[in-house]
Amino acid sequence: MTSVFAMLSEEDILLELKQYQNWHQAYMEGKRREERPGLPENKDAPKYTSYALFGTFIHMLLFLAIEISGFLRIQKFVGFFSRLRISTDRFCYEPVSCGYNSAYTKLGLALLSQNDVVGAIRCLETSWRVHPCPHNTSFGLKRSLVSKLKGYPEASKAVAQYIEIGKQFVSWSEEWVERINKS
């Protein structure tokens, strides 16, 4: 499953993260809105509000379908609905962002449960290539897939890369890595 968007480079992501960190620092220093640097613009965002509204509705339904399928342990459905979520990401208010990371994480876990380690690794490698947003710069990238793949030697490079980029997303990166190590 590939994105309809060009894959973000690590350099682009780190630049956007730096912009978020600069904005946050100015905010914490009590600077007024006009004194703060601007937040990065998600160039992939839909140009029409109707797209975003449609995307919100569709993604709410897909979220429920993924969660119910996961609860019922029907991994083929989790994979199907996750792929559908990824393929409709262009309708999202913040495309190629936290929802994209979550969908690839769910898809990777579904593939791993079906013994498709290569597919799960590909999902992990793709899932971190997202625009920073308030959710993933506050809470970090999803940790569940990287935690599961830690035990697979063939995933070691992808796991190390994910952890390194994940540290950049959150200022309390040691706690983020510690949570991965505990799971």
Confidence check: pLDDT of 39 > 90:
no
- Could you tell me the pTM of the whole model? 0.85
What is the C-alpha to C-alpha distance for residues 162 and 90, in angstroms, rounded to an integer? 23
Whether 143 shows a pLDDT value over 70: the answer reads yes
Instruction: Please name which of 176, 130, 131, 127 lies closest in space to residue 155, comparing C-alpha atoms.
Output: 127
Q: Which tokens is 149 given? A: 């793949």
Which stretches of the chain are DSSP H helices?
Answer: 10-28, 49-71, 75-87, 98-113, 117-127, 134-138, 144-149, 156-169, 173-182
Average of per-residue pLDDT across 30-36: 89
- In this predicted model, which residue has the larger pLDDT, 64 or 168? 64
| Predicted pLDDT at 174 | 63
* pLDDT tens-digit readout, 111-134: 999 999 999 999 999 999 999 888
